Structure 1
Amino acid sequence: MNAEPVAEPSHGVGPWPGGPGEWPDDPRLDPDLLAHGDTRNVVDAYRYWRMDAIVADLDTRRHPFHVAIENWQHDMNIGSIVRSANAFLAAEVHIIGKRRWNRRGAMVTDRYQHVRHHEDVATFTAWARDAGIPVVAVDNLPGAVPVDRAELPERCVLLFGQEGPGLSAEALAAASGTVEITQYGSTRSINASAAAAVVMYEWCRRWA
């Protein structure tokens, strides 16, 4: 009786053809993924790679901009911002305030993205000052410069606030400048994670 054919995964790739003796001799590859297939949400170049090998390779190419989020509540946007930071290859994501955050929106990308926690704005500001990295606040406030016309340093921290209230006065005071996204409709603001993606893309358009 013939064996049932192995179904191909709906996404990703199936097991590597052949047995262990026929697998590629590459220490970056994960034997378990080679044996059972790789359905992770990674680009094809990283298929079958071990997670630590992917992070190590990303570390050789990360961009010099950072992303910071003032975490007043367990905002679901934080996970989406982490996901975008991974997509645009940010150096690090900084969570300011509550250590806990909703990881669902990150879609596992927080495993590949460096995330650092700061207890409060003062601690974050001290880190940025010691690192010599200017902080650029993103908020649609009077005096904010449209991001497409603003100075956006190659090495910087893009600082985002919570959906709704935006950045605190203390966080704004820590920034060297404030940028906004030009809007054309009736709503006062756009989703925080969408805004973060727009600004990260603008940075990459100039510097990547």
Structure 2
Amino acid sequence: MSEEIGPTEWGTTVGVGPWQGPWPADERYDPELLERGDRRNVVDHYRYWRREAIVADLDRRRHDFHVAIENFQHDHNIGTVVRTANAFAARAVHIVGRRRWNRRGAMVTDRYQHVHHHPDLAALRTFATERDLALVAVDNAPGARPVERAALPRRCVLLFGQEGPGLRDESRSGADLVVSIAQFGSTRSINAGVAAGIVMHTWIEQHADLTTAW
């Protein structure tokens, strides 16, 4: 059985060592990484690439959904949401409320993901309206449509609330669509970062070209 490390597996050592052989002439490559090795958390396709080159290439691959999360109580899940949005190539992540957020859970993926700030929901709505993006609120509230049965708009902003209180009333009432996630246990809600991952992947199942996945 082969013990070769796959493209997204870390193994015992993250990344690759110094480049072996003649250096590539492609300007996307970073001379410092070629010399010292690339230990970043990136897929093999982007090994030794400059950060700016990775972002530019991702911009060609990004999908038509955005992700927004309320940050009125300094939610610690935002980093996880950013990391997941990067994995699914979201167009951008939007922080609504407090500008500062805990980046630890992002695992430095925020370097490759466009992240915008909006002071309030009105500003996010303006952004969405100007770009013809439907606002999809995610909350297990009465009247919400099960996301497992909903047709998510291709061009949309998926809006998530904070851990605990969930989305505010004005966020739900101002949305074009409110969806919920089916649950079967005793807990009232699931982790906000987990919920974001579930709904993002639902969008992927409905709209993404899976042949372009790594």
Computing the radius of gyration over CA atoms, which structure comes out larger, 1 or 2?
1
Q: Does 1:31 align with 2:31?
A: yes
Q: Which residue of 2 aligns with 1:145?
A: 145
Question: For 1:145-171, what per-residue CA distance to the aligned partner results, in whole angstroms no more than 9, with x for missing partners?
Answer: 110101201111100000000111121
Q: Which residue of 1 aligns with 2:3?
A: none
> Residue 15 of structure 1 aligns to which amino acid in structure 2?
P
Q: Which residue of 2 aligns with 1:196?
A: 196
How far residue 191 of structure 1 moved from its aligned partner, in angstroms, is: 0.4
| Aligned equivalents of 2:114, 2:183: Cα separation in 1 | 31
How far residue 179 of structure 1 moved from its aligned partner, in angstroms, is: 0.4
How far residue 104 of structure 1 moved from its aligned partner, in angstroms, is: 0.5
What pairs with 1:77-156 in structure 2 (closer than 5 Å)?
77-156=77-156
How far residue 28 of structure 1 moved from its aligned partner, in angstroms, is: 0.3
Does structure 1 conserve the Cα–Cα contact (< 8 Å) formed by 2:68 and 2:95?
A: yes
| Aligned equivalents of 1:151, 1:203: Cα separation in 2 | 9
Question: For 1:96-155, what per-residue CA distance to the aligned partner results, in whole angstroms no more than 9, with x for missing partners?
Answer: 111000000101000100011111111111111121111000000011111010120111
Q: Which residue of 1 aligns with 2:179?
A: 179
| Aligned equivalents of 1:115, 1:174: Cα separation in 2 | 22
Q: Does 1:16 align with 2:22?
A: no
| Aligned equivalents of 1:82, 1:129: Cα separation in 2 | 23
Q: Which residue of 1 aligns with 2:71?
A: 71
Q: Which residue of 1 aligns with 2:206?
A: 206
Give RMSD over aligned pairs.
1.0
| Aligned equivalents of 1:196, 1:15: Cα separation in 2 | 37
Q: Where does the alignment leave 5 or more consecutive residues of structure 2 unmatched?
A: 1-11, 209-214
Does structure 1 conserve the Cα–Cα contact (< 8 Å) formed by 2:137 and 2:172?
A: yes
Structure 1 residue runs of 4 or more that deviate by more than 4 Å after TM superposition: none
| Aligned equivalents of 2:105, 2:172: Cα separation in 1 | 26
How far residue 184 of structure 1 moved from its aligned partner, in angstroms, is: 1.2
Percent sequence identity is 65
Q: TM-score, length-normalised on structure 2?
A: 0.90
Does structure 1 conserve the Cα–Cα contact (< 8 Å) formed by 2:78 and 2:103?
A: yes
Q: Where does the alignment leave 5 or more consecutive residues of structure 1 unmatched?
A: 1-8
| Aligned equivalents of 2:92, 2:20: Cα separation in 1 | 37
